[in-house]
Structure 1
Amino acid sequence: MTIQQAYQAAIDAGTLTEDPAQLAVLPELERVRAALAQPVKSGLFRKAPPPIPGLYMWGGVGRGKSMLMDLLYDHVDAPKQRRHFHAFMQWVHAEMTQARKRGVDDAIAPVAAKLADDVRFLAFDEMQITDITDAMLVGRLFEALFKAGVTVVTTSNRPPDDLYKDGLNRQLFVPFIGLLKDHMVIHELASDTDYRQDRLAGAQSYFTPIDAAARMAIDDIWERLSGGKSETLTLHVKGREVTLPLFHNGVARAKFYDLCGKYLGAADYLALADAVRVLILDEIPTLSRNNFNEAKRFVTLIDTLYEAKVRLICSAAAKPEMLYVEGEGTFEFERTASRLREMQSDGWGQS
């Protein structure tokens, strides 16, 4: 089945709505699928497979990039792997650590070799480079993968030229952008429709009290946004770990104490806001002098999500204005309550 046929079948089944911008990229997806379907010669003297240009799909949040990549991934008949880019880089760092323990001088070489041996097709969701270490590693890694004939398809919210924009020593990263352009077709998915917002349009986003009805409603929202798929995403920030227990395609779900009951701060929440576009936060308790530190972290978290325009869906023990009614910090919490109210408005977070 071609990608065009699979897309049409989803439309006929009512699971997709035809979108001109999505239709425009289908030939590129089919090009990749058809090329990867060709058999690869095996044997002692086999050569690396001829390079198949990959695809870099970029565009605004909720335009269907991840859905289209999933469509391609499901129909590629070749050794393959799909990763969120953050999770992939975590795996790379872990593999390099193991290589160094074995005494390997160039720790990136065995990582690239392992990938090249295992897969012909790599699919990455939400490529973004925010860390200087990743910026230095990713160029050498991708160069080795392309040389080995691995085809890469990735999604991103920004064009290649904006990757690691204003980053430390960015001039050292610029050759990687040229590498992407040499080995991948760059395609902007310029749809006018934000399908992620559409799935949330008119939907309640703040549930109180925390009861069975609230849990059921939020479970339903999570199922609609994640499609029943998820992984654990751990962000590494200055030696600390920020763990999102459930994550899929830019949507994360965590409990209040996962994010506010641990020693996290502004830098951790900034990394979180950079990695997700929708956060489902379960079981926000009432706040007071008895959990003052958790309350302060919650205020910082909400400020960060607000500034980054991350959509928040949550369950809480009380309405925003009644979450923090006694103890030091009640006056400062009025702004947080106001922001929680604003973030409930339909269409909030669109940009």
Structure 2
Amino acid sequence: MSQTTRDLYAARIASGDLHADPAQEAVLAEFDRILAGLDAKPEKRGFFRKAVVEQPKGLYLWGGVGRGKSMLMDLFVDSLSVPVRRVHFHAFMQEIQDGLHEARKAHVEDSLAPVVDRVADGLRVLAFDEMQITDIADAMIVGRLFDALMARGVVIVTTSNRVPDDLYKNGLNRQLFLPFIDLIKDRMVVHELDSPKDYRQNRLSGSRVYFTPVDAEARAAIDRIWIDLTGGGGQPLVLTIKGRKLTLPAFRNGIARASFHDICGQMLGPGDFLAIADAVKVLILENIPRLGRSNFNEAKRFVTLIDALYEAKVRLICSAADEPESLYIEGDGAFEFQRTASRLREMQDADWGKTG
């Protein structure tokens, strides 16, 4: 074991990139427990018995938005010297569902087995961001999936905004999902990151989040915000809603980036926008045009999207053709849009969306 997660955290503090946070520091022991377990030498349990390595328990790290869960996961992944995969939970479950579909088409008796084989091959650690379960298809398979991966020696580490008991809350046939919650508590250490600081909000506090007009300056400013919040990079996030796929082009650490056309230019409805609001904590929405008769359907979707984001307290950063009050000034719906314009103004406030 070269550098531990604690070593990397200390180095970030020494460089000034981070400030010491007792709640974050309390998690480091759990990450380093897993590191030590992965580095452990096989233990011989008798002359005729094969030496075995005791598999370390995984980690379920939960807590409020912006507390540093994803940042700590980054440090943990950077400290590993064994094969690891870091992936957003939604994207992973979409991959699993696609694999199950292919296996069923091939009439495989146990459709989960080849999917697990493919995921677990050569892998020691699976690191998830943002575990949350809203889809019944995921809820019905995730218990068997985790149990099979763990049986193959894969250690699972995940972040979530929810305590395990609140996963798939009020979901259809939830009683069939409850054994998965028991599995989490039995096979993973459940740790709350109980920091009073919301670092993501603090980074946005006082910053401009609504840019007009849509020009090179606005694009550059949003690029800077994206890099500051995510470190750059990101990958598409595919959400499945009632069997349909909705893709957000760039996603990392709970932050999504898309254009107006990517979301409002598609045949989407309220359920889709609620799914987006549930999956992301910050949405960067670019190139909002002027709205009116020529793009009435897109305008209606935009209104519904803003309502969903507003109710879910999702932070919105956007570029638009004009100020909120001047985006929609003619045609059917212009009067009703005044409420949306008011919400867009409110969502620009530095303290908007802060919790507890």
Tell me the TM-score normalised to structure 2 length: 0.95
- CA offset digits 1:24-43 (Å, max 9, x no partner): 111111111121123679xx
Q: How does 1:303-318 map to 2 (within 5 A)?
A: 303-318=307-322
Partner of 2:26: 24
In angstroms, what is the RMSD of aligned CA positions?
1.5
Contact 2:41 2:53 in 1 (8 A): no
- The answer on 1:244 being equivalent to 2:248 is yes
| Distance (whole Å) between structure 2 residues aligned to residue 39 and residue 261 of structure 1 | 56
Residue 220 (structure 1) aligned with residue 227 (structure 2) = no
Q: 1:166 matched to which residue of 2? A: 170
1:256 equivalent in structure 2: 260
Flag the 1:174–1:131 CA change in 2: closer, same or farther, 3 A: same
Task: Give, in whole Å, the separation in 2 of the partners of 1:222 and 1:260.
Answer: 21
Q: 1:36 aligned to 2:38?
A: yes
Task: Give 1:321 deviation, angstroms.
Answer: 0.3
Question: Which residue is equivalent to 2:186?
Answer: 182
User: What is the alpha-carbon distance in structure 2 between the residues aligned to residue 95 and residue 74 of structure 1?
Assistant: 28
Inter-partner Cα distance in structure 2 for 1:253 and 1:48: 46
Residues 245 and 46 (structure 1), Cα distance of their counterparts in 2 relative to 1, 3 Å cut = farther
How far apart, in 2, do the equivalents of 1:46 and 1:87 lie?
Answer: 38
Structure 1 unaligned residues grouped into runs of 5+: none
Of the structure 1 ranges 113-122 and 27-36, higher mean CA displacement relative to structure 2 is found in 113-122
**Contact 2:264–2:299 (8 Å) recurs in 1:** yes
* 2:57 is the counterpart of 1:53: yes
Q: Is the 8 A contact 1:48 1:149 kept in 2?
A: no
Q: Secondary structure, in 3 states, of the residue corresponding to 1:331?
A: coil
Cα deviation 1:289-326 (Å, max 9, x = unaligned): 11000000000000000000000000000000000000
Residue 7 of structure 2 corresponds to: 5
**1:317–1:25 Cα change, 3 Å:** same
d(CA) in 1 for partners of 2:185 and 2:150?
12
Q: What is aligned with 1:85?
A: 89
Relative to 1, partners in 2 of residues 1:323 and 1:24: Cα closer, same or farther, differing over 3 Å? same
Could you report, residue by residue, the CA deviation over 1:13-58 in whole angstroms, capped at 9, with x for unpaired residues? 11111101001111111111121123679xxx98875321011100
User: C-alpha distance in 1, partners of 2:51/2:149?
Assistant: 14
Size of the aligned set, in residue pairs, is: 348
User: What is the match of residue 153 of structure 2?
Assistant: 149
| Letter in structure 1 aligned against 2:119 | L
Name the % identity.
62
TM-score of the aligned structures, taking structure 1 as reference length:
0.96
- 1:239 shift after superposition: 2.8
User: Secondary structure at the residue paired with 1:164?
Assistant: coil
Query: Following the alignment from structure 1 to structure 2, what is the Cα–Cα distance between the partners of residues 190 and 7?
Result: 18
| Structure 2 residue aligned with 1:278 | 282
1:14 is aligned, of 13, 16, 19, to 16
- The offset of 1:171, in angstroms, is 0.5
Choose which of 315, 325, 335 in structure 2 pairs with 1:331.
335
**Contact conserved, 2:127 with 2:156, CA < 8 A, in 1?**
yes
